[in-house]
Chain A
Amino acid sequence: MRKDAHPARTAWLVIVGLLAVMLLLAGCGSSDDDTGGGGGEELPKLGKGEGQVNLISWAGYVEDEWSKPFEQKTGCKVNNKEAGTSDEMVELMRTGEYDGVSASGNASARLFEGGDVDPVNVDLVPNYATVFDDLKDQSYNTFEDKPFGIPHGRGANLLMWNEDEVKPGPTSWGVILDPKQAKKYKGKISVYDDPIYIADAAVYLKAHEPDLEIDNPYQLTEEQFNAAVDLLKEQRPMVGEYWSEAAKQIAAFANGDSTVGTTWQYQYFELLGEKEPVASSPASQGFVPDEGATGWSDTWMISSEAKNPNCMYMWMDWIIEPKVNAQVAEYFGEAPAQSLACKETAEADFCSKYHAEDPKFWDRVYYWETPLADCGEETESEDCVGYPDWVQAWTSIKG
C-alpha cells in the first residue's frame, strides 16, 4: 500500500460526498411534476389492432380458455401479469408498461388521481349497453361524470372454515372478530394481510356497535377507525396466519394450521377440489355472513400511456361479451357484469345463486374502495381517515 494513501480518510470523503449529493438532490427536488387527476382524452375511433395487449389482472381473470379465442379473433396477443394486491396493481400501472388493469375499487380512485388511466369511450364498447345498470356510474368507476372503465364482475369476500374443527358452522364474522368466540380458535385463524382488512372489522362493528354510527366502512371518522383498529389489535394474538398469497392459505387449510378465516372464492373452490373438509356461508345466504361482507366490483381500466389502445378496447369489449363473461364468472366464482351472460352460463341457475340480478343483495356487500381523507363532510373535524393512515395502522396492528 502506498504511504500517502489514507483508506479511512478516502472512505469518509466518499461517504460525505455521497451525503452531499443526496441532500442536494433532495433539496432541489422539483415539485413541478403535478400530474393532477386523470382526464386524458378518450379514444375517438377504434382503429386496427396493434398485434398485442399487456394486461395486469387478478388470478383467474385472464385464462387461456377465453384469451386464446380473443387472440384468434382480433390478432392481439395477450401478455398477462397477475398481481396479488391492489397496491401492487397501482405500482405496476405506474410503470407505464401496461395497457390496462382489472382494478378493484381500492385501486381505481388512486389510478385516476395519479393520472394513470384514461376515460373510456363506451360507444366503442358495444357490449357495455347491456351491463347491469347498478354497476354503471359508480363512485369507483366513474370520475368527473366520465366512465373510466368497463365493469368485469363482482363478489363478496368469504368466511371459510374447516367443517371437522368448527362446529356448528358460524353465521357471523364474530367467530374470528369477537374476542370471546375467537379465543376458541386461537392460532388457527387466517386473515387477509392487507390494510383494507380494517374495513372488515368496520363491517362487523357496523352491525354490532350501532353507537358508532358507521355507514360506509371505507369512510371512517377517527373514532370509528380507532374502534376498528382496536378490535383487530385484540384479534392479533388469536391469528395463526396473515396471508396474501392464495397458495400459502390453501396449504395452511390443507394441513390443519388454519381452520377458520377470510378467503376468496379461488382458494375455497381449490380446497373443495382437493376434497378438503372446508365450508363457507351457504348459497341461501348468498355466501355472506349475517353482517354482510366486504367485496369487490372490478373494472377494466385503460392506461393513459397505453401503447396498444385499440387492442385494449377490443379486450374490454371481449371480456363482457355474454359468453365470455359467463365463462369468466363461473371460472372464478363471482357474479357476471353482463346481464346477457346469465343466459350463457353452464350452470343454469348460476346467476341467481350469485345474486347477479338482485341489486338488493349487493347492499350488504361493501365493495373495496380507496379510503379518502376527504369524505364529503363539511368541516375538517369531520374528515375521514385516509389510506396512508390505514397502511400505518395495519403495521401497528401486526405489531
Chain B
Amino acid sequence: MTTEAVAGRRSAGRKLAGLFHGRPRLQTGTLLSGPLAWLVVVYLGSLAVLLVSAFWSVDPLSGELVQGFSFENFELLWQESVYGDVIGRTVLIAALATITDAILAFPIAFYMAKVANRRGKAILVVAILLPLWSSYLVKVLSWRTMLSNGGVINWALEPFGLSGPGYGLTAVWLVMSYLWLPYMILPIYAGLERIPNSLISASEDLGASPFTTFRRVILPLAFPAVVAGSIFTFSLTLGDYITPRLVSNDQFIGNVIFNNISTNLPLASALATVPIVVMIGYLLVARKLGAFEHV
C-alpha cells in the first residue's frame, strides 16, 4: 500500500512536470504569477485607487467623500497660483539637489574606481554606506539641531563674522543633498568601474590632455550612470515631505498632500498625480540620454 501511495504521488508529480514540459510560456507564467500579482494588485492597484479618487469631491459640510466624476480638483490646481508655486519649488530643489550631488559624487566615485587601492576602496565604500544604516529621521533631526540658532553651524561660522543659513529653502537643499548623496555615488562608481583603464591610457598616448580625456572619453561613457543616479536623487527629493517640515516653513508637494489628506482626499490625490507626471517626463528624457542602455 505504501509503495502504491508513493508511486501514485510520484506519478502525480510527474504528471505535473509533464504539464510544464515543452510549454515555456506556462513555465514563465507560473514562475512570475506571484510577483506579478503583487505588482499589479498591491502596488499598481492601490496607486490606481488613489488616482481614481482624484476625480471625486468632498461634501462641504461633513467632509465625507462624494463619488462622482469631475475635473474640479485639477482645475483648482491649475487656477490657484499657490499650487504652481509649490510644484515649482519642489522641482527646483529636486533639480538643485541632483546637480549638487552629481558634482560632489563624481570625484569621489572616480577616486574610488580608478585611483584608490583595494583597501582604500573598501574603506570608502563603507564610509559611503555607513550613513544609510542610521534612520532617516535621526539624520534630518540632527540637521535641524545643527542648523538651529545655537547650533554647531552658527558656532563654527561665528569667528568669521558669518552665520548659517538657518531654517529655510537653503537648509532643505543642504539636507536633501546630504541625504541622497550615496544614491548618486554608487551608480557612478559602478559606471566608472566598467570603463577599461586601457581606454584612458590610449587617450593619453594619443596626446590628449587630462581634461580632454575626461571630457571626450570618461564623461560620455559614465554619463548614463550619472543619469541613473540622478533618477534616485530627483525622485527621492520630489516625494519627501518630512525634511521641509523639519528644517523650513516652505511647503513642498508632499506637505500639501499631507495637509489635505484628512480634509480633502480628492485634492490630495490630484496633487499626487503631479510627481508621477514629472517622473514619467524625467524618465523619458533619461531614456533619451541612454540611462537604461546597460541595465
The answer to whether B64 and A388 touch across the interface, beta carbons within 8 angstroms, is no
Q: Which residue of A lies closest to B246 (CB)?
A: A248
Q: Which residue of A lies closest to B83 (CB)?
A: A395
With A26-B69, A241-B167, A391-B260 known to touch, is A257 a contact of B61 (CB < 8 Å)?
no
Chain A: minimal CB distance from B44 (Å): 6
The answer to whether B67 and A29 touch across the interface, beta carbons within 8 angstroms, is yes
Quick check: is A166 within 8 A (CB to CB) of the other chain? Answer: no
Residues of A within 8 A of B55 (CB): 26
Interface readout for A251-295 with B: 1 if CB under 8 Å, 0 if not? 010011100000000000000000000000000000000000000
With A113-B62, A114-B63, A398-B251 known to touch, is A391 a contact of B69 (CB < 8 Å)?
no
Quick check: is A46 within 8 A (CB to CB) of the other chain? Answer: no
Quick check: is A209 within 8 A (CB to CB) of the other chain? Answer: no
Bound together, the chains give a CA A158 to CA B160 distance in angstroms of: 39
- Surface stretch bound by B, among A86-94, A131-139, A147-155: A86-94
Quick check: is B174 within 8 A (CB to CB) of the other chain? Answer: no
Chain A: minimal CB distance from B272 (Å): 13
With A26-B52, A29-B56, A257-B148 known to touch, is A241 a contact of B249 (CB < 8 Å)?
yes
- Surface stretch bound by B, among A17-25, A197-205, A348-356: A17-25
Residues of B within 8 A of A187 (CB): 166
Quick check: is B58 within 8 A (CB to CB) of the other chain? Answer: yes
Interface readout for A25-64 with B: 1 if CB under 8 Å, 0 if not? 1110111010100000000000000000000000000000
Quick check: is A372 within 8 A (CB to CB) of the other chain? Answer: yes
With A113-B62, A257-B167, A396-B82 known to touch, is A87 a contact of B263 (CB < 8 Å)?
yes
The answer to whether A31 and B68 touch across the interface, beta carbons within 8 angstroms, is yes
Quick check: is A373 within 8 A (CB to CB) of the other chain? Answer: yes
Residues of B within 8 A of A177 (CB): none
Chain A: minimal CB distance from B52 (Å): 5
Bound together, the chains give a CA A244 to CA B142 distance in angstroms of: 19
Interface readout for A382-399 with B: 1 if CB under 8 Å, 0 if not? 000011100110111011
Residues of A within 8 A of B62 (CB): 35, 110, 113-115
The answer to whether B149 and A395 touch across the interface, beta carbons within 8 angstroms, is no
The answer to whether A22 and B249 touch across the interface, beta carbons within 8 angstroms, is no
Residues of A within 8 A of B264 (CB): 388, 391
Residues of B within 8 A of A33 (CB): 67
With A26-B56, A29-B68 known to touch, is A391 a contact of B259 (CB < 8 Å)?
yes
Q: Which residue of A lies closest to B49 (CB)?
A: A25
The answer to whether B63 and A110 touch across the interface, beta carbons within 8 angstroms, is yes
Interface of B is mostly: loop
Quick check: is B212 within 8 A (CB to CB) of the other chain? Answer: no
Interface size for B (C-beta < 8 A) is: 41
Residues of A within 8 A of B48 (CB): 18, 21-22, 25
Residue of B61, B66, B256 with most partner-chain A CB within 10 A:
B61
Q: Which residue of A lies closest to B25 (CB)?
A: A2
Chain A: minimal CB distance from B285 (Å): 16
The answer to whether A395 and B259 touch across the interface, beta carbons within 8 angstroms, is yes
Chain A: minimal CB distance from B66 (Å): 7
Bound together, the chains give a CA A108 to CA B150 distance in angstroms of: 42
Bound together, the chains give a CA A147 to CA B154 distance in angstroms of: 56
Residues of A within 8 A of B83 (CB): 395
The answer to whether B67 and A388 touch across the interface, beta carbons within 8 angstroms, is no
Quick check: is B158 within 8 A (CB to CB) of the other chain? Answer: no
Q: Which residue of A lies closest to B66 (CB)?
A: A31
The answer to whether B60 and A388 touch across the interface, beta carbons within 8 angstroms, is yes
Interface size for A (C-beta < 8 A) is: 45
CB-contact partner of A90 in B56, B63, B80, B150, under 8 A: B63
The answer to whether A396 and B63 touch across the interface, beta carbons within 8 angstroms, is no
Bound together, the chains give a CA A241 to CA B51 distance in angstroms of: 32
The answer to whether B262 and A387 touch across the interface, beta carbons within 8 angstroms, is no
Residues of B within 8 A of A14 (CB): 40, 44
The answer to whether B44 and A29 touch across the interface, beta carbons within 8 angstroms, is no
Residues of A within 8 A of B61 (CB): 110, 113, 372-374, 386
Quick check: is A311 within 8 A (CB to CB) of the other chain? Answer: no
The answer to whether B148 and A30 touch across the interface, beta carbons within 8 angstroms, is no
Q: Which residue of B lies closest to A26 (CB)?
A: B55
Bound together, the chains give a CA A90 to CA B256 distance in angstroms of: 18
Residues of B within 8 A of A29 (CB): 52, 56, 67-69
Interface readout for A231-254 with B: 1 if CB under 8 Å, 0 if not? 000000001111000001000100
Quick check: is B85 within 8 A (CB to CB) of the other chain? Answer: yes
Bound together, the chains give a CA A399 to CA B259 distance in angstroms of: 13
With A256-B149, A398-B249 known to touch, is A388 a contact of B69 (CB < 8 Å)?
no
Bound together, the chains give a CA A256 to CA B259 distance in angstroms of: 27
Interface readout for A96-127 with B: 1 if CB under 8 Å, 0 if not? 00000000000000100111000000000000
With A21-B48, A255-B150, A256-B149 known to touch, is A388 a contact of B58 (CB < 8 Å)?
yes
Bound together, the chains give a CA A398 to CA B86 distance in angstroms of: 10
Mark out the residues of chain B between 67 and 120 whose CB falls within 8 Å of any chain A CB in the assembled complex: 67-69, 76, 80, 82-83, 85
Residues of B within 8 A of A115 (CB): 62
Chain B: minimal CB distance from A195 (Å): 8
The answer to whether A30 and B67 touch across the interface, beta carbons within 8 angstroms, is yes
Interface readout for B33-57 with A: 1 if CB under 8 Å, 0 if not? 0000000100010001101100110
Chain A: minimal CB distance from B35 (Å): 14
Q: Which residue of B lies closest to A110 (CB)?
A: B63
The answer to whether B82 and A395 touch across the interface, beta carbons within 8 angstroms, is yes
Bound together, the chains give a CA A33 to CA B262 distance in angstroms of: 19
Q: List 21 A-B contacts (CB under 8 A).
A: A25-B48, A26-B52, A26-B69, A29-B56, A29-B67, A88-B262, A90-B63, A110-B61, A110-B62, A113-B59, A255-B149, A255-B150, A255-B151, A373-B61, A386-B61, A388-B263, A391-B260, A394-B259, A395-B251, A399-B250, A399-B251
Residues of B within 8 A of A (CB): 40, 44, 48-49, 51-52, 55-56, 58-64, 66-69, 76, 80, 82-83, 85, 148-151, 166-167, 246, 249-251, 256, 259-264
Given known contacts A25-B49, A26-B68, A35-B64, what 12 new A-B pairs fall within 8 Å (CB)?
Answer: A22-B48, A23-B69, A26-B52, A29-B56, A87-B262, A113-B59, A387-B63, A391-B260, A391-B264, A395-B83, A396-B80, A398-B251
Lowest 5 A-B CB distances belong to which pairs?
A29-B67, A113-B62, A91-B262, A114-B62, A87-B262
